[in-house]
Amino acid sequence: MPNRDKQDGNKELMQVLKHGIPYEGPTIVVDTREQKPYGFNGEVPTVKAALKAGDYSVLGFEEQIMVERKSLSDLVRCVGSDRRRFMKQMKRLLEIGKTGEIMLVVESSWEEIAKGRWRATRIKPAQVEGTLLALMGMGIPVCLSSSWPGGQRLTERFLIGAHRRVTKGFRAKGR
């Protein structure tokens, strides 16, 4: 179903462009390596491309707007065996965040993390919580969503809002 939404959104964009009416909204870029990509709602066009960092961005603003997505199982793996690679990803995200808009979206809730019901790992809930809190302390906004559809919705809203802020010149203090 996500592919159908993407196709419908792209058809709509092509119709607008064909009739000479400029499309002023963002086009979401989905990284080609994203294994379970969001489909979004079909109203915002999407394209696939290799991103230097993150899983989602906005076409033309790939160096300014970035979202990294993690399921709970991905996050637990990143806290454990993939920690070095994950922290490299977070450093790239922080670099973009110095002048742009970034977010880490985690498909989980604090309550679910606290329960620690993941399989085949020695990672404790406190380690996962501590990693997220450390990332927030470093300046990476972390948004938790208790579901995949919720993460999709928040990612889409963030990308649309970030595009609006960047194109209108609105920036947070200190950035």
Query: Nearest Cα to 80, choosing from 112, 119, 23, 50?
Result: 119
Q: 13-64, pLDDT tens digit by residue?
A: 555 555 555 667 899 999 999 988 998 877 788 999 999 889 999 999 999 9
Q: 53-105, pLDDT tens digit by residue?
A: 899 999 999 999 999 999 999 999 999 989 999 999 999 889 888 888 999 99
pLDDT band for 119, please (50, 70, 90 cuts): confident
Using an 8 Å Cβ cutoff, are 132 and 142 in contact? yes
Quote the pLDDT of residue 21: 58
Using an 8 Å Cβ cutoff, are 119 and 76 in contact? no
Using an 8 Å Cβ cutoff, are 28 and 46 in contact? yes
What's the CA dihedral at 154, 157, 163, 169 to 10 degrees? -100
**Can you list the domains of the chain with their CATH numbers?**
2-168 (3.40.50.10130)
CA distance 80 to 140: 19
CA distance 63 to 61: 5
